[in-house]
Amino acid sequence: MFMENWGLAEWLHWQETLNPKEIDLDLHRIGIVASRLDIVPPVNRTFLIAGTNGKGTTLALIEDILIQKGLRVGSYTSPHLVDYNERICINKLPIDDSRLIDSFKLIESVREGILLTYFEYSTLAAFITFNQVDCDAWLIEVGLGGRLDATNIITPSISLITNVALDHQEWLGTSLEEIAKEKAGIISAKIPSIFGDPSLPKNIEQTALEKESDLHVLSRDFFISSNCDSSEWQGKYAVIDSIMIPSHWGPGEYHNLALSLASIEIVDSELLPSSKELNCLLNNFSVSGRFEIIEKKQTWILDVAHNPHAAENLRKRLESLDPYKKITAILSLMQDKDIIGFVKVLDDLVAHWIVCEMDTPRSHSVQTLQKKLIDYGISNVTAESGLLEAFSNVKNHTKKNDRILITGSFEIVGPAKKWLNSE
């Protein structure tokens, strides 16, 4: 067979071209193939995580807690930052090329002409891997929306929705309630669900009622509060006090922690950490590309925020460092993103905007980005043709200890991280 000697790069290139649509929301294709693979998730510890922002952080918090308790944890996230293998991890270690390729070969042996998408291939590969290594827990991050996302072929132990904000309107709808309905699609009949924001959309509440799902909501069914010294989380039965929240966290991370702990309590309360265990975890907690700080000659801050809601949280985190120290920001956004809605949240913290085009046809052109910022009233804007040119420009024209923010997409943060690691 012509695929027999393919390496990972060849497999991925082929998957990108198999289905003519980059995004093709549908459960029928992957459902048929999955049924031929006999995929069986753990009965009691499968977490399916949707939401506009904070999915990756929520997953990472649950992952660290469960690993700390001695479980073998399989996690599936997307997109990746640097290497494709990052999408599928066992106890935070990316799987190797050979296991990925073996999974792809298995999928191919049962596909029988069904035109799977790139994302559907990776989803199935993750589920195959988790079964093969006998993971105690599956942590699954929804790719887009929820209702028709490929990850929604499994029935989880609990369905998590972090929050709902305007994003991906082309596929999910133009209003918060329309988007909420799509995300509520991961709620399964008579399976508990949980929402990580005090503002509960009606469509999520209604879907939970229709499916007889026990819905838990932040600030209604579980709580997190703080005083000057520490924070306290309160679940249905348990309380964890004296929590030392990292100083650079924003409201989003605060909510993500509350959601993570509540979901673990619902699934298995014996897996909840003690205050000491949780503080040890938080002291070393980080998520690649989420307010990731890399110290070189300058201070580089990498954050994949890409919509106004995420920008608000990013702003809070930047202010926790030093609200008066101006930033040089390198920005690129996808064509479906609200440029001005994003920029205006951060503009008074930024001394100089550098815009560039990402290496994907979905990127806003550099001309569009520059024009939008200038028309908005921002005068200090520099346009660079590509990512490497933008990174080099900033490196060469900023001073020691200057603060540089790179944001707007995984497709700019990932290359930035790779470039910084090579410097």
Cα→Cα distances 386→44, 48, 332, Å? 47, 36, 10
Are the C-beta atoms of 50 and 143 separated by less than 8 Å?
Answer: no
* Statement: 8-283 belongs to CATH 3.40.1190.10: yes
User: What are the tens digits of pLDDT across the range 54-88?
Assistant: 999 999 999 999 999 999 999 999 999 999 999 99
User: What are the tens digits of pLDDT across the range 114-167?
Assistant: 999 999 999 999 999 999 999 999 999 999 999 999 999 999 999 999 999 988
Mean pLDDT, rounded, for 26-43: 92
In this prediction the pTM is 0.96
pLDDT of residue 14: 94
The mean of the pLDDT values for the chain is: 95
pLDDT of residue 2: 65
pLDDT of residue 3: 83
Cα→Cα distances 77→59, 74, 227, Å? 9, 10, 34
Q: Would you call 279 exposed, middle or buried from its count of C-beta atoms within 10 A (0-12, 13-18, 19+)?
A: middle
Is residue 324's pLDDT more than 90? no
% of residues, the chain, pLDDT over 70: 99
CA angle 367, 368, 371 (to 5 degrees): 85
DSSP single-letter state for residue 218: B
Is the fold of 8-283 the same as that of 292-422?
no
Angstrom distance (rounded) from CA 394 to CA 353: 10
**Nearest Cα residue to 91 out of 36, 151, 133, 34:** 133
- Domain edges within the chain: 8-283, 292-422
Which is the CATH superfamily of the domain at 292-422? Mur ligase, C-terminal domain (3.90.190.20)
What is the sign, positive or negative, of the torsion defined by CA atoms of 179, 58, 96, 153? negative
Are the C-beta atoms of 143 and 122 separated by less than 8 Å?
Answer: no
Is residue 1's pLDDT more than 70? no
pLDDT of residue 239: 98
What's the CA dihedral at 291, 292, 294, 298 to 10 degrees? -10
Angstrom distance (rounded) from CA 34 to CA 140: 16
Cα→Cα distances 128→3, 24, 306, Å? 19, 22, 31
Walk across the sheet containing 158-161 and list its strands: 93-94, 88-90, 73-76, 137-141, 46-50, 158-161, 193-195, 215-217
Can you say how many angstroms the Cα of residue 301 is from the centroid of all Cα atoms in its chain?
17
% of residues, the chain, pLDDT over 90: 88
User: What are the tens digits of pLDDT across the range 35-49?
Assistant: 999 888 888 999 999
Give the pairing of strands 88-90 and 350-356.
unpaired
Angstrom distance (rounded) from CA 142 to CA 24: 14
